[in-house]
Homo-oligomer: A and B are copies of this chain.
Amino acid sequence: MTSYSIIGGTGDLGAALARRLASIGREIWIGSRDPAKAETFASGLSAEFPDARIGGLGVGDAAARADVCFVTVPYAAQADTLQQIREGVQGKILVDATVPLKPPAVGKVQLPAAGSAVVEGAAILGEGVRVVSALQNVGAEKLAAGGDIDADVLVAGDDAAAVEEIRTLLTDIGLRSWHVGPLANSAAAEALTSVLIQLNRRYKMGQAGIRITGKPQV
């Protein structure tokens, strides 16, 4: 069975994702700059989900250990994190959930020069890594709470097989998703995060999300 690392796995989004993967009994390696913190979190989650195999490691070790790597770190930590895991993820699928939020103006879209944080990250990782963009628009609280989520996941990537493998996993953990085109289209999901932050503030919404509308014929 495929194993998963979650780099930044003790943060809000990473921990929520870990919880979903644990709930379906997967092998999960939590990666943190602080390996002891990762181990503590992993132990707690293991106790709750005995069917899953969960361990905590440092960032580089976690990424090297698993088949598929999720990166759920703040934008400010993205480049440094990807440098650290670069060797360990060669030949693998890496799902980057990074959103280029620049505090304090996190409600304002501020995409990087490359057009997308995930595209910037892919350049660091090199051509040997199958980079997929996902999970920028699903609230961590909703994800952690379990159950159905009234929000879709936009999945972008240049490697269609990698995109579909991740979409299958997302379905398994209860998330509806769409393949929204090449990795460059991650820009749309990254920009939407600031829009959702605005909506949460302006309309006092409990974690706004988006749904795609229209009738698929395939």
Contacts and interface: CB of A to CB of B under 8 A. Distances in A.
Contact of A204 (B151, B185, B217): B217
A16 B65 CA distance: 55
B191 A187 contact: yes
B210 A206 contact: no
A191 to B, nearest CB: 4
Q: How large is the interface on A (under 10, 10 to 19, 20 to 34, 35 or more residues)?
A: 35 or more
Interface in A167-218: 178-182, 184-185, 187-188, 191-192, 194-195, 198-200, 202-218
A216 B188 contact: no
B218 A154 contact: no
A160 B200 CA distance: 17
**This chain: copies in complex:** 2
A110 interface: yes
Contact of A218 (B181, B194, B203): B203
B214 A150 contact: yes
Given A109-B115, A204-B217, A185 B195 contact: yes
Given A108-B181, A111-B115, A191 B191 contact: yes
Contact of A109 (B108, B187, B215): B187
Interface in A125-156: 150-151, 154
A107 interface: yes
B204 A209 contact: no
Contact of A178 (B154, B185, B203): B203
A211 B214 contact: no
10 contacts: A107-B181, A109-B184, A109-B187, A180-B195, A180-B199, A181-B195, A185-B194, A188-B191, A203-B217, A204-B218
